[in-house]
Every structure is written in structure tokens, then in C-alpha cells.
């Protein structure tokens, strides 16, 4: 029996910026470092149409859009900092990893791209995985709150079910 050669050159790490996603991030960094793979980091801000409609009805569409835009900006700054150079990215990621600065600086992974999107998390993860020709997807199994947790659990399941590449779900 001949086994196919597995060559992982691009890893997509999807995060909801929760505490539990830090474990998945550690796995993604470690794999990228050991395999010499590039790492694309994706944060998707879930939009729930019925919730969107309900909130915009109560506070106004313009105000709700401002709040969503602010959230998107904050997420981007959390992931990439205000500068786009490698040191700023590693610094922002070190802060995200809460005290993992030494660990990150010892690793030699390449951050291909950092993406902040809106929409359905599973669809965006699958879309970017395909567009970026990723060989592996790394996600956490649960999100940041009970609502987000059930969504991330559902997101991980949907990504596992529909992905054309291997998916590592980190508990």
C-alpha cells in the first residue's frame, strides 16, 4: 500500500478571539513552525440576520452599522496592530496569546495574511481556505460565550463536514 505524500504549505487559522481559541492558535503556530508552512489568520464576525434586523429596528440602522464597523476595526487592531510590519504582527499576536511573546519570537512561522470578515463563519472559513489554497484549517471547538460557543461548535462541525482539506479542531 502506497500512502500519498502530505505536503502542508498553507494553514488557515480561524479565530473568534476567545480565550479558548488561543489553544487552537498555539497548535496552528506550532504546526506552521515545524512544517515551514505559511499561516493565514481569519476572524469572522458572525452576522445573524434576525438579530441584525431586531437590533437595527430598536437603535436605528445607522447606529447599528456604526457599532458593527467599530467591532470590525477593533478586531483588526487586535489581530494586526496599527502597523503592518512583521514585528507589529508578532507583537499583536503575542498580546493575543497573553504572555506567549517568548514562544512566538522563537518560532519561525510566516504570517501570509490576516483577514477580518463579516458573515457566516463557516462559509467564510471554507471560502478563504479555497481561495488561499490552504492545505489545513485549524479551528477551536468552542467560542467566547454561550451563544458564541454554540455557534463556534456549530461552525467547527459545518467546516468539518464541508471542507475539502483536513481540519484540526482543537478543544
CATH of the domain at 97: 3.40.50.620
Q: Within a domain: residue 30? A: yes
Residue 90 lies in a domain: yes
- Is 2 within a domain? no
pTM exceeds 0.95, yes or no: no
Question: Span 4-32, mean pLDDT?
Answer: 88
The total number of structural domains in the chain stands at 1
In a domain, 4, yes or no: no
Does residue 3 form part of some domain?
no
Q: Does residue 117 form part of some domain?
A: yes
pLDDT for 152 equals 46
* Cβ atoms < 10 Å from Cβ of 81: 18
Domain annotation covers residue 95:
yes
The span from the CA of 113 to the CA of 23, in Å, is 20
In a domain, 1, yes or no: no
Assess contact for 24 and 139: CB atoms under 8 A: yes
Average pLDDT over residues 76-96: 52
Residue 28 lies in domain:
10-170
Amino acid at each position: 500500500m502506497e500512502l500519498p505524500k502530505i505536503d502542508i504549505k498553507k494553514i488557515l487559522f480561524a479565530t473568534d478571539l476567545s480565550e479558548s481559541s488561543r489553544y487552537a492558535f498555539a497548535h496552528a503556530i506550532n504546526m506552521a513552525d515545524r512544517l515551514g508552512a505559511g499561516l493565514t489568520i481569519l476572524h469572522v464576525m458572525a452576522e445573524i440576520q434576525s438579530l441584525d434586523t431586531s437590533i437595527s429596528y430598536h437603535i436605528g440602522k445607522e447606529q447599528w452599522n456604526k457599532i458593527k464597523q467599530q467591532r470590525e476595526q477593533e478586531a483588526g487592531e487586535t489581530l494586526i496592530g496599527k502597523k503592518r510590519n512583521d514585528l507589529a504582527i508578532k507583537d499583536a499576536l503575542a498580546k493575543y496569546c497573553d504572555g506567549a511573546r517568548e514562544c512566538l519570537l522563537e518560532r519561525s512561522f510566516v504570517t501570509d495574511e490576516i483577514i477580518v470578515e463579516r458573515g457566516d463563519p463557516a462559509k467564510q472559513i471554507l471560502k478563504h481556505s479555497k481561495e488561499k489554497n490552504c492545505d489545513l484549517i485549524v479551528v477551536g471547538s468552542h467560542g467566547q460565550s454561550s451563544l458564541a460557543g454554540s455557534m463556534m461548535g456549530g461552525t467547527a462541525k459545518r467546516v468539518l463536514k464541508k471542507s475539502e482539506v483536513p481540519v484540526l479542531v482543537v478543544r
